[in-house]
Structure 1
Amino acid sequence: MSITLKNKFKLSALALSVAFVLSACNGDDGKAGKNGVDGTVGEAGAPGVDGANGIDGSVGKLTRIATVPEGAEVTGLFLTDEGDLFFNVQHPSDANTQVDAVNGKLFNTGTVGVLRGVNFNDLPDNLADSPVPVTEMERQTVMSAVGEYQILGQTNDIFAGLPAGLGVIHNIVSGEKVVESNTPDFNGFIPTSDGEGYLFSNWESYPGGVSRMKIKKDSFGKWSVIDAMMVDFDQVAGTAANCFGSVSPWGTPLTSEEWIVRSSVDTTTDASWNDPENTSTDGIEAMTAPDFPNPYRYGYIAEITKPTEAEPVVVKHYTIGRYEHENSVVMPDRKTVYSSQDDTGGVLFKFIADNPEDLSSGTLYGAKLTQDAGSTEPSTTGFDVSWVELASASNAGIEAWISEYDGIDTSDYVEGQTSYMTMADVQAWANGDATYPSVENGGSAVTAGQPMDDRAAFLESRQAARLKGATAEWRKLEGLSINHDRALEAVGGVESIAGEDVTQAYLYMGIADIDNTLTDDEGDIRLSARVKDCGGVYRAKLEENYDLARIEPVIMGGTYRSSLDGAERCDVNQLSQPDNVIVMKDGRILIGEDGFQENNTLWMYDPK
């Protein structure tokens, strides 16, 4: 207690004593004296020290835009400059029996469509949720909060120019029908004029394919299909499991090959690839005459050039690396490409082209992550990012390496060995050895004793990145997305968003499962398993030259409940295994689910 306060306390006690004595004598109260004059105001004290900044509150909002029929996942999210939102109903249950009132069709096979009659570049902030489906009709059709879902095409639909049927894929040698794909994935729209253009859609199967529908919109927002085709992949020896993708800033679809690699954390190409007792390669043999095609011809990003011409040209960019590609996205500098690996123990890759709009040569990098110290909670734990340079090469140079593995057949098979690259080969490259190891020392017969080169970085990219120090621990690293105009304004300094001063832009990343290599007690990433299979979405701020230096969580699914079955494991009102992610012009993001909900959801999230 201060001296002043102590003295005041003593005076107050004395005054009380006097008052008690006077009242005890029962004397009359005296008249109140006049109020004294206020004393002068003292000088202001020095300003106090600012307190520490508080933690930002969670102010984001999830809105349920649409749900898809039973058995289906939401794929193919693509938002056009005119505000048209395309998305697909991938592999719905073939037991669905309810006829959709808008289209007069069943959702019992792969479906490509669009939400018509609404501009997603001009949505209100207070949009109401679409309901969680309750009735059989609601469970087996597309329900939406805005617009109406219009079916553009379904598996086997026949159009002018495509008598064989949409999503039907043929053997590139015999021409025989191989697959009636039920799995449409990526959509990419290439406009040719207002309300008209070409819609490219991936068909994620073995062999894979891409369809092209020429479509046109009327004044009421209804679309019609003018003609269609399946893109000819014979020119690149076929393609495998075309998953998600993107459209480059110069207007070419980039389609991703997934599934083909068969390389887990500890092995490279499967030793049984050309085993005469087991020549099945998950259906890839249907693409070419032999049952054991060269595996190094698959697992890349393919660019569809001349997309609006009668015969589009396909180029596989070996330079971006060989792994289980989910999708790649090109930055506004038209050189920097980020690419995701959809697998267990995957890597986030970056490729920087030598020249703008030309992905045929450049340098490949893998991301090294450093987790926030003392933090394991998925909803708050971030990672600092540095980049490990792997190698530089050109498509032509890598093609020469790939061709050395052509012609390998069952006569080359040795039990327990691979006829392709070995871990010893990749390790020798990572060590900087002058030559490849001999067969006796674990090397491949193709390269044994030869001078070392950089083929490991491009043919076995995950292992090369891991052995060079990149973080190979992502689990189902799915869609990557930026809004090109926001990124161009924030980083490139070019005003592109009317009415908004954009100073920061982000690359968003969907993670379907936060488990396995993300939650074990090994390596660079060691998260809690609380979220597990419910997944979440991360973002990385685009820095100078479109670099990434930091990855942080944006929104996570609910707490995973392993004691429950089916859809109940993840809260129906929270994310469940996010897959596609699209950034809107106003900064909100669209998220498509690939989960185990009875009806997967297309969400809109407002990070503001």
Structure 2
Amino acid sequence: MKKGRLTKKRATIVLALALTIPAVMPVSAMENKGHVTIDSVKFNGMDAPKTIDKMVQTYSNASLEVKYSNGEVKNFPLSYNRLFKSEDKIAMNNGELIPAGTPIDVNGKPIVDNSVPGNSTYFVSDAPDSNSLLDPIGGKIYMVTHYEYQTFDAAGNSAYGIVPASMSLSTIEQDKNSGKLTPKSVKKIDFSSVNGLWIPCNGSLSPWNTHLGSEEYEPDARSFELNPTSSARTSVESFAQLYFGDKLKANPYFYGFIPEIKVDNHGAASVSKHYSIGRFSHELMKMMPDNRTAFFGDDGSYTTMFMYVADKEKDLSAGTLYAAKFHQTGTENGGSGNLEWINLGHASDKEIKAIIDRGVKFSDIFEISEGPKEGFKAIKQYTYGKTEYLKVKPGMEKAAAFLESRRYAAMLGATSEFNKMEGVTFNEKDNKVYIAISDQSNGMLENASDPSDDIKLPKIKSGVTYQLNLTGDQKDRSGQKIYSQYVATNMLGLIKGEDLPGPDAYGNTANVGKIANPDNLSYSEALRTLFIGEDSSMHTNNFVWAYNVDTKELSRILSNPAGAESTGLSAIDNRNGFSYIMSNFQHPGDELEGKNITAVNKAELIKAMETEIGIDRTGGVGYISGLPSVEDLLNTNRDVNSIFKK
């Protein structure tokens, strides 16, 4: 997620929580207690780190407390295990060794950083992000990993958005007895068939076992075409030069979509970009159980809530795109409102790709006025950042809907005032979607000068996690039926942060006992728990939290290195009988220089961070172990004696 701190994502550490019950008592003792099931679970949280040696680590000393039907209460301590870092070497097909986080060009060659004359090195992303741990395919477990961006080049210049991004496919070995995960091989995924990969933020695993990636912060096609000195032009041309070897191939409409990665029985990955899903700042795409309906995060300032309904199950090649109109109903606990859905149109991937391939430009889709004018709609949305006056040219409605989805949505009356809309996850039993507003400010405040002002909520810089209630038999604004039983009808604040008037002794500007800047979300049906990862400069150390949706208890379960963002959360309830919760961290040590830290020696903290893992240099991959088997947590009628008799 980066883009000024609460807008980019940074270096990763997968924490796959291997959920295996240790033999806490002899089999005979359990057998003598009769029929024993699990009644409840509870996370016992951990304190925030207070010493330099802890502030530079990724660690957990939290635990899970399990209460059994016979009155026994057992405590299962959690611990962290590292797998690999993005700077660790992997083998290319030709045997060449490159860092795991190095991007490759259209020909599959590693992209070289020549920013320091006479000292060429590989680019290495310090921002591994999403991980999808796939269900076994052909008897093997595979993991798709995002490498979102690179913070700096070797000369210390910002490299964000100018260096092509990448993903990798890891073959994972799983210990049959303990569930321990070990990467046996890591390979780069080829995106040459879809013109490369642009800033992949978070992602999700589809119900049909494919990885749904993302392309965040789509480049502004208006600025690219009409302002040769714009950052949009610079970024896309730099990308094209590094990826294609030719900046003339730069095209902003290549990027801003959902890539789907399929892995076959031989471990080969194939990539499709789904143009019919729309082009906006995709944080991630979360599918509903009907295998047709999806909700999204649209990251940035002045963004929109979207919903997609595919024509066919497990097929994202064609569908209908909707955008939400927010009707505010309150401000309690962050805010609340009803959602009205506007149909933007129907398209297939093939149709939209054909428009892109014809070389369509922004000026082919819209007429522009420099001020208010009859027939032109005044809107404000993320990529342009200020009020613009637009009119869709005749016959270009479909291009507008699927290549300029946020602009077109705003022109039709959808709300484009959301700020830092990030992670999305789903609670199937209660039929609720959870969505993170990482920073509730900017367009979500009252702004009388904006073209529209649907949202007038309180300023909470540390953010709010919202709950969306789903139902069926709904109609869109025009009165047409929405062919989904998973339509969000309202949203209300669930968990909010607490801003501080000034920094505490550790440099925190938000209450360290509460969540600050929620980003990644993942829900475990088995644990009835919403996991929340932070992307926060308001907390010096970012955390992963567990929120029990029944008891409303919030527990800190992981601390990341100082300055690192927590990303890539994914609750995996069953892989060959073991369960995992994956989470990543990015850019360790970032922005520590500017923090007002007095509780510890800041210079010593920075030095220790550089020694421990490096600052803005690499990200890590690992997992937490120690949780009991989620298979048993899901089956309250299953006698846990059977575990110990195996």
Per the normalisation by structure 1, the TM-score is 0.68
The change in CA–CA distance for 1:249 and 1:174 in structure 2 (over 3 A counts) is: closer
The change in CA–CA distance for 1:282 and 1:560 in structure 2 (over 3 A counts) is: farther
How far the C-alpha of 1:245 sits from its partner, in A, is: 0.9
2:80 maps to amino acid:
Y
How far the C-alpha of 1:130 sits from its partner, in A, is: 1.8
Q: Which string of whole-angstrom CA distances, capped at 9 and with x for unpartnered residues, describes residues 310-329 of structure 1?
A: 43111100111111100011
The answer to whether residue 339 in structure 2 is matched with residue 385 in structure 1 is yes
Q: Which string of whole-angstrom CA distances, capped at 9 and with x for unpartnered residues, describes residues 158-179 of structure 1?
A: 3456732311112215834243
How far the C-alpha of 1:470 sits from its partner, in A, is: 0.7
How far the C-alpha of 1:362 sits from its partner, in A, is: 1.1
Mapped partners of 1:210, 1:575: distance in 2: 29
Mapped partners of 2:305, 2:233: distance in 1: 32
SS in 2 for 1:509: strand
Ranked by relative contact order (alpha carbons within 8 Å, sequence separation 6 or more), the top structure is 2
How far the C-alpha of 1:124 sits from its partner, in A, is: 6.0
Match of 1:352 among 294, 309, 312: 309
**Kept in 1: contact 2:237–2:247 (CA 8 A):** no
Mapped partners of 1:542, 1:566: distance in 2: 41
Match of 1:284 among 200, 217, 239: 239
Mapped partners of 1:168, 1:239: distance in 2: 13
How far the C-alpha of 1:562 sits from its partner, in A, is: 5.6
Match of 1:244 among 202, 222, 247: 202
State the match for 1:510 in structure 2.
436
State the match for 2:530 in structure 1.
589
The answer to whether residue 464 in structure 2 is matched with residue 543 in structure 1 is no
In structure 1, list runs of 5 or more residues that go unmatched.
1-71, 76-89, 93-109, 409-417, 432-441, 488-501
How far the C-alpha of 1:554 sits from its partner, in A, is: 0.6
1:272 maps to amino acid:
N
The change in CA–CA distance for 1:295 and 1:566 in structure 2 (over 3 A counts) is: farther
Mapped partners of 1:282, 1:519: distance in 2: 35
**Kept in 2: contact 1:272–1:279 (CA 8 A):** no
More strand by share: 2
**Kept in 1: contact 2:425–2:521 (CA 8 A):** yes
How far the C-alpha of 1:217 sits from its partner, in A, is: 2.1
The change in CA–CA distance for 1:430 and 1:341 in structure 2 (over 3 A counts) is: farther
**Kept in 2: contact 1:534–1:577 (CA 8 A):** yes
How far the C-alpha of 1:542 sits from its partner, in A, is: 2.0
2:56 maps to amino acid:
Q
**Kept in 2: contact 1:363–1:389 (CA 8 A):** yes
Mapped partners of 1:303, 1:428: distance in 2: 42
Match of 1:336 among 262, 285, 293: 293
Match of 2:127 among 171, 183, 203: 183
Mapped partners of 1:402, 1:429: distance in 2: 27
The change in CA–CA distance for 1:135 and 1:175 in structure 2 (over 3 A counts) is: same
Mapped partners of 1:138, 1:249: distance in 2: 38
Instruction: Give the aligned length.
Output: 456
The change in CA–CA distance for 1:190 and 1:428 in structure 2 (over 3 A counts) is: farther
The answer to whether residue 140 in structure 2 is matched with residue 213 in structure 1 is no
Mapped partners of 2:353, 2:470: distance in 1: 32
How far the C-alpha of 1:287 sits from its partner, in A, is: 2.0
The answer to whether residue 246 in structure 2 is matched with residue 318 in structure 1 is no
**Kept in 1: contact 2:431–2:470 (CA 8 A):** yes
**CA RMSD across the alignment:** 3.4
How far the C-alpha of 1:308 sits from its partner, in A, is: 5.1
The answer to whether residue 50 in structure 2 is matched with residue 129 in structure 1 is no
**Kept in 2: contact 1:326–1:340 (CA 8 A):** yes
**Kept in 2: contact 1:185–1:243 (CA 8 A):** yes
1:505 maps to amino acid:
N
State the match for 1:24 in structure 2.
none
1:170 maps to amino acid:
I
1:125 maps to amino acid:
V
Match of 1:598 among 531, 534, 540: 540
Mapped partners of 2:271, 2:285: distance in 1: 16
The answer to whether residue 165 in structure 2 is matched with residue 203 in structure 1 is no
SS in 2 for 1:602: strand
SS in 2 for 1:249: coil
Match of 1:520 among 438, 441, 446: 446
Q: Which string of whole-angstrom CA distances, capped at 9 and with x for unpartnered residues, describes residues 20-65 of structure 1?
A: xxxxxxxxxxxxxxxxxxxxxxxxxxxxxxxxxxxxxxxxxxxxxx
Mapped partners of 2:507, 2:39: distance in 1: 30
Q: Which structure: larger Rg?
A: 1
The change in CA–CA distance for 1:224 and 1:270 in structure 2 (over 3 A counts) is: same
How far the C-alpha of 1:358 sits from its partner, in A, is: 0.9
State the match for 1:534 in structure 2.
462
Mapped partners of 1:191, 1:296: distance in 2: 33
**Kept in 2: contact 1:268–1:423 (CA 8 A):** no
Mapped partners of 1:276, 1:196: distance in 2: 43
Mapped partners of 1:301, 1:470: distance in 2: 21
1:80-479 aligned within 5 A: 91=10, 110-116=12-18, 118=20, 125-144=41-60, 145-146=62-63, 147-159=78-90, 163-173=97-107, 175-178=109-112, 179-192=123-136, 197-205=141-149, 206-218=163-175, 219-262=177-220, 271-272=226-227, 279-281=234-236, 283-285=238-240, 286-292=242-248, 293-306=250-263, 309-372=266-329, 375-377=330-332, 379=333, 381-405=335-359, 421-422=365-366, 424=368, 451-479=395-423
The answer to whether residue 493 in structure 2 is matched with residue 553 in structure 1 is yes
SS in 2 for 1:242: coil
Mapped partners of 2:283, 2:277: distance in 1: 12
The change in CA–CA distance for 1:234 and 1:428 in structure 2 (over 3 A counts) is: farther
* Identity in percent: 28
SS in 1 for 2:410: helix
2:455 maps to amino acid:
I
Mapped partners of 1:339, 1:123: distance in 2: 35
How far the C-alpha of 1:469 sits from its partner, in A, is: 0.7
Mapped partners of 2:363, 2:245: distance in 1: 19
How far the C-alpha of 1:91 sits from its partner, in A, is: 4.2
Mapped partners of 2:40, 2:49: distance in 1: 23
Match of 2:519 among 557, 576, 579: 579
The change in CA–CA distance for 1:269 and 1:606 in structure 2 (over 3 A counts) is: farther
Mapped partners of 1:298, 1:290: distance in 2: 17
**Kept in 2: contact 1:421–1:443 (CA 8 A):** no
**Kept in 1: contact 2:98–2:110 (CA 8 A):** no
SS in 1 for 2:354: helix
The change in CA–CA distance for 1:340 and 1:117 in structure 2 (over 3 A counts) is: closer
Mapped partners of 1:119, 1:456: distance in 2: 53
How far the C-alpha of 1:451 sits from its partner, in A, is: 3.9
**Kept in 2: contact 1:161–1:227 (CA 8 A):** no
SS in 1 for 2:203: strand
1:126 maps to amino acid:
K
Mapped partners of 1:256, 1:451: distance in 2: 29
Mapped partners of 2:231, 2:183: distance in 1: 46
The change in CA–CA distance for 1:547 and 1:318 in structure 2 (over 3 A counts) is: same
